[in-house]
Structure 1
Amino acid sequence: MNVKLKFILVYLSLYASSYTIQAQNIQYDPLLDPAVEIPDAPVRNGNGEYIWYPGQLSAHLQQKRLKESEKRCVNVGYPGKFYAPVYHTSFCKEVNLPAETLMEWTSTGKVKVSVNEKEAGNSDKSSLTLPKGKSTLLFKVETDNNLPAIKVSFNGEVSTDHWKASMDGIEWNIAETSPVFGTTGRMPLDDPETEVTIHPISILPIRNATVENQKIKIQKNGYILVDFFHIEVGKVAFTAKGEGKLTAFVGESPEEALNENTKLFEQYPIESYSLTEGEQQIILPERAVRYLKIFSDKECEISDVKFKAKIWPVDFLMSFECNDERMNNIWNASVASLHTSTHGFYLDGIKRDYLPWSMDAVLSTFAGDYLFGDEQVSRNSLSVAMLPLNPQKTDLGIPDYPLHALIGFNHYYQRYGDFNTILSYRDRIEQLLKLYETLQDERGFISANVGVSWGFVPGWATRRGPDKKGTPTYAQIMLYYNYKIGTDFSEKWGDRKSAKHYRMKAEALKKSIIKHFWNEEQGLFINGYTKDGKLDTVISHHAQYWAILADIFPKERYDHLFEVLPTIPYYHDYVSYEKGYEFLAYSKAGKVREMWDFLFTVFGDWLAQGHTRFPENFSYKKPKDEQLVFYKRPYGLSLCHGANGVPGVVAVLNGIAGFSQSPTKSNHYIIRPELMDLKWANIEFPVKEGKIKLKLSKEGKNLIEIPDGCKVDFIDKNKAKKTFTRKGSYSI
């Protein structure tokens, strides 16, 4: 790197740091930033309109995101196979009408309608009159290249309840719907995003250029650098006047935007624009952007630079504020990181691939369900984590990734209390569990010797192992956790035989895990076996936090574990996107202060460097340029990764608020607040019955407000418990 570029980057770093220091309680999310222009959003009616087969919206939307990714992103690849989109679905419903009723429908494809097994309409007809009394309705929808979906109304009132859907006309399932997809005049696959206008927070003349009162002049071979503060996906627009050729470069960091070596780009280069002396409105193609470099080989003027970003519509259901601005900023950046990554799924890096990945997507629901409560985004993310129908071992790319799905569905049920969703995915859940049974060896373990392409991926923080091609302990614990969830789900849907079977599988696997992998002398779980079958006695963090989450780590050893964790080599040096899961374990173990100390050290350092979203990986002890390297590519690191928005949310919800749920009674909540050194903290968060609101004080009284229909235990620092069962506000 030349001396001048180093000087520029040092200046930018100081500028960003000064902005961060001066700003109090920075609004990192564009929808909360008063400097961002936000159009009036259409009013959502709160109910769905179209219906489709469960998981098929996810399957079709995944293909749409893949095409968008391939158009923009240079390095795109997916291991394993996914739930395939289909183009034909049948929908049926039995009605009992009090009078003659007009039925109307709109569909995404060709329609055949039958009433009481008699064909009554086709694509040329979109309404018919139903007689009084009972009728059995059947719609068959065929599409060329679209999600088969239909909207049906009776006397002008849309009907989404009690519809069943089938892909073969034999097996029927509960139809899926959403108040976000396919409403307010849109079709189900039309993205409901809001376009906001983000203005630059700085425009710096870097070479042979001047900037005065937003008037930009670029001389021959000069260039400027624009900072929009927010990393988002969208199109940059500006007015240019002059001659010659103008070229734009974009990036998530100034280093990336200033780089001109197209071989190093993570997004395809933007073609140059020829200027013709008169004013031209230039709109760049869609890119993930924070920084923009504009270069001109001849003199030109630039004005009205703005970033038209597409933002997923959300309701901010959870809020947090306290007297420590460091915590407030980590919280706000966490929310923004997750929101920026929300586009129909909780996506992987928006710059690098813009795709849903199983582990990232499922983990993101643990925060997104409390922040935004978009159930369909969560269902899409959970569905993509599962394998195709009737999965085979050859469908696996990363053998542990589908194990996240059931863990996510279990969380979904706890959060929303919606067992119909669990039932609608029952066939795929049962098939997934049966597949893993076929992969177990005589010890009950799964290994990477099943023809998979990648091997196990617990996250990227694997400098201490385990061997991705071996038999890692953490994956066996995840499988045990899946069998426990399979037991519970089977009991709830009335299959006692399967419940007994999975209970026995879980108990046997737990015994085998402890026998092979628990090191009594160290009081910790070892890594597992290598691909050569040798015992890997190294200690890493993955098995420990999964053991806490699955309730097999001895509680009396918690203190010892959290004394050892910080001493594990690379533990702070190389931090990856699995941290949200690990922080759930921190919270469960009551290690709130340790969790926040980690956040201050690693996540706080990232913000102090001027970043505004959290990345896929942290290596904060490395030199600045090396922190951006990933996959051996200089700008390969995703600087906005939704999964790393989760730790900050967990640290507030499950840490400071001390929120947890009874494992047996889904409307029973526990609040065990931990203020540490805080003077006060105000926290609101949703539960399925409404909202819980907390005003916590170090010195004065605590206030709690709870909704109707739930039971809340408030346990203070002295372990004194007060129980509330009626809606209201209480002083403690």
Structure 2
Amino acid sequence: MIIKKMRCWLLLTLGCLLLPMAGAMAQNQATWVWYPGDFEIWLGNQMQNRRTERGSFFPPFWRMDSHYVLIDFHKDFDLAKAEEVELRAEGQYNVKVDGKLISGSPQRFTVPTGKHRINIKVYNQERVPAIYVRGATIASDNTWLVTYEDKEWIDASGKASDQSGTTWLQAGSWNFDDPRGAPSRFRLITEPQRAANVAAQPRSMVVDFGRETFGYVKLHGLQGKGNLTLYYGESREEALATETCETLDRIVVDQPQKAERTTDMSKAFRYVNIQYDQGVSLDSVSMLYEFAPVLERGKFRCSDQQLNKIWDVASYTMHLNTREFFIDGIKRDRWIWSGDAYQSYLMNYYLYFDTPTVSRTLFALRGKDPITSHINTIMDYTFYWFMGIYDAYQYTGDKALVQQMYPRMQSLMDYCLARRNKDGMMEGLAGDWVFIDWADGLSKKGEVSFEQLLFCRSLETMAVCANLVNDKAGAANYQKLAADLKAKIFATYWDENKHALVHSRVDGKPTTNVTRYANMFSIFFGYLNEAQRQDVKKYVLLNPEVPKITTPYMRFYELEALCAMGEQSYVLKEMKSYWGGMIDLGATSFWEEYDPAKKGAEHYAMYGRPFGKSLCHAWGASPIYLLGKYYLGVKPLTAGYDTYLVEPNLGGLQFMEGTVPTPQGDITVSCNLKQIKVKGAAGTGTLRFQSKVKPTSKGGKIKALPNGQYEMQIAPGSEYVVTYQALQSPAVK
């Protein structure tokens, strides 16, 4: 039903989320455009300031930037014949053709035959300056150039300057293709939903919507005079705890006739405890489910029904937290946290491949110069931001995003480089939050090895992006900085006796403490040699004496490291135990934190509050990424899946099948103990697998590799069927 309504909505409503990232629009397709990042920052401000805590306004902890209020747009055209142009703008504006000002604020004007430049300057303090231009061949799109300062002057004779130091960028855009659908009108869509169960009492009712959800509560047949309060709960216990539940709404009722009333703000809940005065009556309750209509392209099914359930709950968790941006959790913060978002990007590439939400989130997180703190005030979250841009390029092949982001990357990296200590390491300074993970007793003192690893990866990202924008000097500098830091990391932290990277160095001396964080990242960053990889697997990742990780946030990376080491069978058992454990406790979406040792309502407590924990947190959806990348085994080898690898690993399953989305179509994989089927829509793929016997394939040429491995090239548009015999791990119970 939702999918059907989504299709109708796409045809009828403005501002949808499903179209591909701007940059591949049809010829002469006009769309609203703005200064890159400004709409994203403005929209982020709107969303993040909706958070409330027990009815009180609760804004973000960090500096909030705003859009530039005056923007100059221009583009050059060569017309075969004169053309009438329609213009709409958000804000006050003027128009120049070839430098000559047109009187007034024309909604239509004519551009003569030949070569001409159109300039449009827009001012808007309240909303983002944006334009929509449409003619027979002239159209506003992201090939227009924009600036927030034109740096020109006029001399005493009236002559304009011959040169300018203005920096022009390509315009930002999304999918606002209707001239009436200005960006400031964007809203998520809603769909009516009924309650699953209602327990009514005199002057109260407890409404259960059946699973975690998000939206507006709708009160039917509301009548009378008095007060009504809605206490929201992700659990029944929270909804009934009127003094300690996290969110609520208070409504003053003055309604002589029966009427419908919808709450002003959307909220997260499963249960709603509604209490009202004796002078108030209420017939029934429903809700308007609010969501972003992203299309679920990624799929996974296998022989293990519990794992299928884990995939379904993970995808629903991801759906709830994919909104205007990738947010952390729907109940409490509803903010854009870089560490949470980084994992959402990766899960998104295996579920939706919705690139506009990635770019919006990156722009909103970065904000504007000058930089006065780390992103979200957290050192590691700054580094995740850099890494997110690298992954966006690797998965999508979109150079335009890198080009728009590169100046912002440079200034943010300059900020980081300026905060190094005398030894060239990153260490928490005043105002820095060194987060790493929610873990009791985890030291953040001194130079933490985990932070140096993320810093090194960020410098490598800078080098890659510098090359993409042809900044050769910058690329060489960043690469040298990364290589020097990497050498220093292993000289400082690698302990031969511990067979691992130690956690930190304090006052110039490495500690003896070993944690999982730096060690597991060093595996999938490719920083370890084979002997070190095996040591880390044995002495850290599979060592019960090393403190365990209890958050889905860092379990994501721990299990990725194990998958990268070929431990899919072990990881499958862990997923079934950990995520399956939440489902066994009744979870309908995955939580911010899960400790199997806790009992009952203890599971809902966090931050010193009985219901502080989020029971729908984006980072809980990580099985999506793990199953797509390490079981179906699909990943890009070069940008935008121009070349890619399919390396299926059953990991104890009897069969599995699924779909992985890419920029140009889907890759489908089906695998059991005797047969593999693969089809890719575009790009050149490599199927790699192991077999006990010599495999065969119709239409594919199989190449033998050492250690029982085989490879076969996958051409676009053709399905390949391989007959083989799997090297199978014991079935997972």
- When normalised by structure 1's length, the TM-score is 0.86
Q: CA deviation at 1:72?
A: 7.6
- Equivalent residue runs for 1:91-110 within 5 Å: 91-110=73-92
Query: Residue in 2 aligned with 1:727?
Result: 717
Aligned in 2, Cα 1:319/1:311: closer, same or farther, shift over 3 Å?
Answer: same
Query: In the alignment, which of 183, 187, 190 is matched to residue 185 of structure 2?
Result: 190
Counterpart contact for 1:692–1:704, Cα < 8 Å: yes
Gaps in structure 1 of 5+ consecutive residues: 1-29, 210-217
CA-CA distance at 1:228 after TM superposition? 3.5
Alignment of 1:334-349 (within 5 A): 334-349=314-329
Whether 2:654 is the aligned partner of 1:674: answer: no
Other structure's SS at 1:129 match: strand
Which position in structure 2 is the counterpart of 1:140? Answer: 121
Aligned to 1:629: 605
Distance in 2 (alpha carbons) for counterparts of 1:269 and 1:447: 43
Q: Which amino acid aligns with 1:196?
A: E
Q: Residues 556 and 238 of structure 1: is their aligned pair in 2 closer, same or farther, counting only changes over 3 Å?
A: farther
After TM superposition, the structure 1 stretch with the greater mean CA deviation from structure 2, 707-716 or 668-677, is 707-716
Deviation at 1:712, TM superposition (A): 3.0
Matches within 5 A, 1:131-210: 131-155=112-136, 158-169=139-150, 170-179=166-175, 181=176, 183=178, 185-203=180-198, 205=199, 209=200
Superposition pairs of residues 424-443 of structure 1, within 5 angstroms? 424-443=404-423
> What per-residue deviation string (whole Å, max 9, x for no partner) do you get for residues 261-282 of structure 1?
1xx2322442364786x64434
Distance (Å, rounded) in 1 between the aligned partners of 2:282 and 2:596: 37
Cα distance, 1:598 vs. partner?
A: 2.0
Letter in 2 for 1:500: A
Alignment correspondent of 1:316 = 296
Provide Cα deviations, 1:122-151, integer angstroms capped at 9, x if missing partner. Answer: 4x3112110111111211111021011111
Q: Which residue of 2 aligns with 1:558?
A: 533
Q: Structure 1 residue 507: deviation in Å?
A: 0.9
Distance 2:658 2:378 in 1: 38
Residue 660 of structure 2 is matched in structure 1 by 685
**Shift in CA distance, 156/500, structure 1 to aligned 2, threshold 3 Å:** closer
3-state DSSP class of the match of 1:40?
helix
Identity of aligned residues (%): 20
SS at match of 1:593: helix
Q: 1:714 aligns with which of 688, 703, 708?
A: 688
Note if contact 1:74-1:267 (Cα within 8 Å) is conserved in structure 2.
Answer: no
Aligned to 2:47: 65
CA contact (8 A) 1:83 1:384 kept: no
- Determine whether 1:358 maps to 2:338: yes
Q: Provide the rounded CA distance (Å) in 2 between the counterparts of 1:626 and 1:533.
A: 40
CA–CA distance in structure 1, aligned partners of residues 646 and 111 of structure 2: 53
In structure 2, the CA distance between the partners of 1:184 and 1:125, relative to structure 1 (3 Å rule), is closer
Letter paired with 1:40 = C
SS of 1:677's equivalent in the other structure is coil
Tell me the equivalent position of 1:380. 360
Query: Relative to 1, partners in 2 of residues 1:609 and 1:70: Cα closer, same or farther, differing over 3 Å?
Result: closer
Does the CA contact (< 8 Å) of 2:494 and 2:501 recur in 1?
yes
Deviation at 1:299, TM superposition (A): 9.8
Deviation of the 1:437 alpha carbon: 1.6
Structure 1 segment 150-549 matched on structure 2, within 5 A: 150-155=131-136, 158-169=139-150, 170-179=166-175, 181=176, 183=178, 185-203=180-198, 205=199, 209=200, 218-219=201-202, 223-240=205-222, 246-261=228-243, 264-271=244-251, 273=253, 279-286=258-265, 287-296=267-276, 298=278, 303-386=283-366, 388-392=368-372, 397-449=377-429, 451-453=430-432, 455-460=433-438, 462-463=439-440, 465-467=442-444, 469-530=445-506, 535-549=510-524
Q: Give 1:381 deviation, angstroms.
A: 1.3
Q: AA paired with 2:307?
A: M
Q: Tell me the CA shift for residue 197 of structure 1.
A: 1.8
- Is the contact made by 2:188 and 2:324 (CA closer than 8 Å) also made in structure 1? no
Query: Is residue 225–residue 254 contact of structure 2 (8 Å, CA) maintained in 1?
Result: yes
Structure 1 residue 464 displacement after superposition: 5.2
C-alpha contact 1:540 1:568 (8 A) present in aligned 2: no
AA partner of residue 431 (structure 1): S
CA distance in 2, matches of 1:31, 1:538: 51
Give the distance between the partners of 1:685 and 1:584, measured in 2 at CA.
17
| Change over 3 Å in CA distance of 1:446–1:82 after alignment to 2 | farther
Q: How does 1:35-54 map to 2 (within 5 A)?
A: 40-43=8-11, 47=25, 49-54=31-36
Aligned length: 675
Q: CA deviation at 1:693?
A: 0.8
Report deviation, 1:222.
5.5
* Conservation of the 8 A alpha-carbon contact between 2:232 and 2:246: no
**Partner SS for 2:50:** helix
Of 568, 580, 599, the residue aligned with 1:604 is 580
Amino acid of the residue matched to residue 168 of structure 2?
A: W
Partner SS for 2:116: strand
Q: Secondary structure at the match of 1:674?
A: coil
SS of equivalent residue, structure 1 residue 673:
coil
Q: Distance in 2 between matches of 1:565 and 1:141?
A: 56
Q: 1:590 aligns with which of 557, 562, 566?
A: 566
Q: Which moved more, 1:552-561 or 1:651-660?
A: 552-561
CA distance in 2, matches of 1:615, 1:570: 23
SS in 1 for 2:413: helix
The one-letter code sitting in structure 1 at the alignment partner of 2:627 is: V
Shift in alpha-carbon separation, 1:637–1:570, aligned structure 2, 3 A? farther
RCO higher in structure (CA 8 A, sep ≥6): 1
2: CA distance, partners of 1:294 / 1:535: 56
Q: Would the alpha carbon gap of residues 585 and 58 (structure 1) be closer, same or farther in structure 2, given more than 3 Å must change?
A: farther
Please tell me whether the aligned partners of residues 195 and 309 of structure 1 are also in contact (alpha carbons under 8 angstroms). Answer: yes
Q: Secondary structure at the match of 2:322?
A: coil
Deviations 1:215-234 (A, max 9, x none): xxx33x65434234232132
Deviation at 1:60, TM superposition (A): 0.6
Alignment-mate amino acid for residue 721 of structure 1: E
- Preserved contact between residue 366 and residue 375 of structure 2 (Cα < 8 Å): no
Superposition deviation, residue 447 in structure 1: 0.6
Deviation at 1:190, TM superposition (A): 3.0
Please state how far the C-alpha of 1:338 moved relative to its aligned partner.
1.4
Partners of 1:405 and 1:497 in 2: CA distance: 23
